[in-house]
A and B are shown apart, each in its own frame.
Chain A
Amino acid sequence: MNTSGIARKRRWSGRAAGHAALIVSVLLFIVPVLLMLIGSLKPDERVLVEAGTIKALWPDSVSLQNYADVFRRADFARFLVNSLFITGSIVSAGLLVNSLAGYAFARLRWRGRTLLFNLVLAVMVVPFEAIAVPLFYQVSILGLRDTYVAQILPFIANAFSIFLFYSFFIGLPRELEESARVDGAGVLRTFFFIIAPNARPVFATVAILSFLTWWGSYLWPLMVTIGPGVRPLPVAIATFYTLPPLQWGDILAFGTMMVMPVLVVFVAFQRWFVRGVAASAVKG
């Protein structure tokens, strides 16, 4: 009884230490986020002055003036629509194109399958940065600089997405297709009505991973966009930061508005985000 009491006490102190470590780490982790959220509500000139004090995280007064200023000083709505349109197009078209390809590699018998699948695996190794410059010249020659097309079309087909779909489809039971075949359904029908509804987790994984990749993409839009017309948010905030006069409150309000929609979706679907990221590693 005595020993179990000690063990219990030790377990309790272990728990307390674990909780303390977690709370300290979380506080350090969320400081930059709080600095952004709270700074966006403060008068511009106070943000920098108070950044080194507790007032950085605890404002005296709160106002939405900075948010109004962002809309006055920049075409925020346009950048948001650009980002949503570009990322939405890549993700939705990518889900269709890559799932079909993954299915063909996983479940159909055809000539060239092995060779082409090895090509997909090889392409997976090429990071975007290695081809950014030649791709830029390719796009320029086609006269596609400063367009949506240049920001969407090259990224729809994705080797890693094909691979994720392939890995998932290959693990589905064969009976799914056999029952469909008995009913006389063709390949496309089988895919859309039998396979896809049974593959929601992999669709969610690919959607989340490609969304995170392209929503935050900076290098490529920096290269191909010229004016604000088709410019997405990541480039827009870097430009807004350099727009004189330096108004930190406005910049942080811009940042808050830029990340808020994603943050809301993330909190609502955080289980899916976590599962999606974890799945990318297991399959990789």
Chain B
Amino acid sequence: MRRRKALGDQTPVAWLLAGPGLLGLMLFIVLPFLLAVVLAFTNLRLGSPLPLEFVGLKQFARIVSDPGFQRALFNNLVFAMVVVPLQTGIALGLALLLNRGLRGTVVFRTLFFMPVVFPMSLVAVIWILIYAPGASGMMNAFLEMITWGAWQPRDFLRDPLLALPALMLLSVWQGAGFQMVILLAGLQSVPEELYQAAALDGAGRWQQFLHVTLPQLRNPLIFVVLVTTILAFRVFDQVQIMTRGGPQDATTVVMFETVQAAFTRQQVARACAMAVVFFLIVLFVTGLQRRLLRQQSEVA
């Protein structure tokens, strides 16, 4: 009797267990998401005398032709194209070094991972000091040292050319350890026999890396690359604290524009349209990830 019940329907107790979680997701993710989609098609602006009405795709047309938003999208894209390969490359290099079983590996791993526990707002403040203008600034002094005095001191965060790279560098610093740990776990799960077999076939170090390590790391690499790509589109804290999008929109990003629209200009509908565009970008990247991972499992 009890056994039959156990094998049967557990709907009431399942709802009890899953209910709070599902309710939370509905109220605080699904509902605001639908709200954003609906509002993006209206003209809602707080404090505006105009009546609320449906305006179709007008908000989207506006943001697409807004130079600030175009620049923001462009900056996010540049950010992703530089930070993703750089950070992944550094993380992979560190993971390979740590995977060689050298003495003190745990200490090194701990130190490389340490920036990950630093909140980005604190990282931003510390790096404002590092980027201090003038010859006595730490970054300026460092660049002067490694170029044998050829470097002329710059004001990184107020330089239209250098401000975005400056933000990229600290993002790489904060994020590389996270990726390194994931790649290191991937490396450690590569079966030793594969390397032995490759060595027997006469493969050198570099060939082993190309034909054993990289294919075996495919899934962690795809994961790391796409998570970092999404993070590159979510960038906000550094911009808000260090540059406020300046100088001359050189560091503005989609999230910064969205917050500006919503809070500085009270343009609720436009901010929602930006959020929808932002979501579509993330959706595209995620779709790409799922597709790449699926291809892999079909091959295997």
A→B interface (CB under 8 Å)? 15, 18-19, 21-22, 25-26, 29-33, 35-36, 39, 47-53, 56, 97-98, 100-101, 103-105, 108-113, 116, 119-120, 123, 125-127, 129-138, 153-157, 159, 162, 181, 184, 186-188, 191, 212, 215-219, 222-223, 233-235, 237-238, 241, 248, 251-252, 255, 258-259, 262-263, 266-267, 270, 273-274, 277-278, 280-282, 284
B69 within 8 A of A: no
How many A-B residue pairs lie within 8 Å, measured between CB atoms?
288
Q: Closest Cβ of chain B: how far from A188's Cβ, in Å?
A: 7
Distance in angstroms between the alpha carbons of A31 and B173 in the assembled complex: 11
Could you say which residues of chain A place their CB within 8 Å of the CB of B203?
none
Contact in complex: A109, B9 (CB < 8 Å): yes
Could you say which residues of chain A place their CB within 8 Å of the CB of B181?
274, 277-278
Contact in complex: B20, A157 (CB < 8 Å): yes
Distance in angstroms between the alpha carbons of A119 and B9 in the assembled complex: 21
**Choice from A50, A188, A281 contacting B185 with Cβ under 8 Å:** A281
Could you say which residues of chain A place their CB within 8 Å of the CB of B112?
25-26, 29
Contact in complex: B282, A130 (CB < 8 Å): yes
B→A interface (CB under 8 Å)? 2-3, 6-11, 13-15, 17-18, 20-25, 27-33, 35-36, 39, 94, 97-98, 100, 102-104, 106, 108-130, 132, 135-138, 140-142, 173, 178, 181-182, 184-186, 220, 223-224, 227, 230, 234, 236-237, 240-241, 255, 258-259, 262-263, 268, 271-272, 275-276, 278-279, 282-283, 286
Pull 12 A–B residue pairs with CB atoms less than 8 Å apart, ordered by A: A104-B18, A119-B25, A125-B286, A126-B33, A127-B230, A134-B32, A156-B24, A157-B21, A262-B117, A270-B113, A277-B182, A278-B184
Could you say which residues of chain A place their CB within 8 Å of the CB of B268?
133, 137
Contact in complex: B132, A48 (CB < 8 Å): yes
Contact in complex: B120, A101 (CB < 8 Å): no
Contact in complex: A130, B21 (CB < 8 Å): no
Distance in angstroms between the alpha carbons of A237 and B124 in the assembled complex: 10
Contact in complex: B114, A263 (CB < 8 Å): yes
Distance in angstroms between the alpha carbons of A53 and B33 in the assembled complex: 50
Contact in complex: A238, B125 (CB < 8 Å): yes
Q: Closest Cβ of chain B: how far from A171's Cβ, in Å?
A: 16
A56-B138 in contact given A33-B114, A133-B258 (Cβ < 8 Å): yes
Contact in complex: B279, A104 (CB < 8 Å): no
Could you say which residues of chain A place their CB within 8 Å of the CB of B132?
48, 51
Contact in complex: A274, B282 (CB < 8 Å): no
Of all chain A residues, which has the CB nearest B98?
Answer: A22
**Choice from B9, B24, B104, B255 contacting A97 with Cβ under 8 Å:** B24
A111-B9 in contact given A129-B278, A157-B23, A281-B220 (Cβ < 8 Å): yes
Contact in complex: A29, B173 (CB < 8 Å): yes
Contact in complex: B126, A252 (CB < 8 Å): yes
**Choice from B7, B39, B111, B234 contacting A29 with Cβ under 8 Å:** B111
Leading 8 A-B pairs by shortest Cβ distance: A157-B24, A52-B141, A216-B119, A101-B21, A278-B185, A110-B14, A154-B28, A134-B32
**Choice from B108, B109, B116 contacting A212 with Cβ under 8 Å:** B116
Q: Closest Cβ of chain A: how far from B235's Cβ, in Å?
A: 9
Contact in complex: B275, A132 (CB < 8 Å): yes
Contact in complex: B18, A187 (CB < 8 Å): no
Distance in angstroms between the alpha carbons of A149 and B158 in the assembled complex: 38
Contact in complex: B129, A187 (CB < 8 Å): no
Distance in angstroms between the alpha carbons of A233 and B120 in the assembled complex: 11
Q: Specify which of A130, A159, A216, A251 lies most central, judged by the most chain B CB atoms within 10 Å of its CB.
A: A130
Distance in angstroms between the alpha carbons of A41 and B77 in the assembled complex: 40
Of all chain A residues, which has the CB nearest B289?
Answer: A284
Could you say which residues of chain A place their CB within 8 Å of the CB of B259?
133, 219, 223
Contact in complex: A135, B32 (CB < 8 Å): yes
**Choice from A29, A105, A135, A241 contacting B128 with Cβ under 8 Å:** A241
Q: Closest Cβ of chain A: how far from B87's Cβ, in Å?
A: 13
Distance in angstroms between the alpha carbons of A238 and B109 in the assembled complex: 29
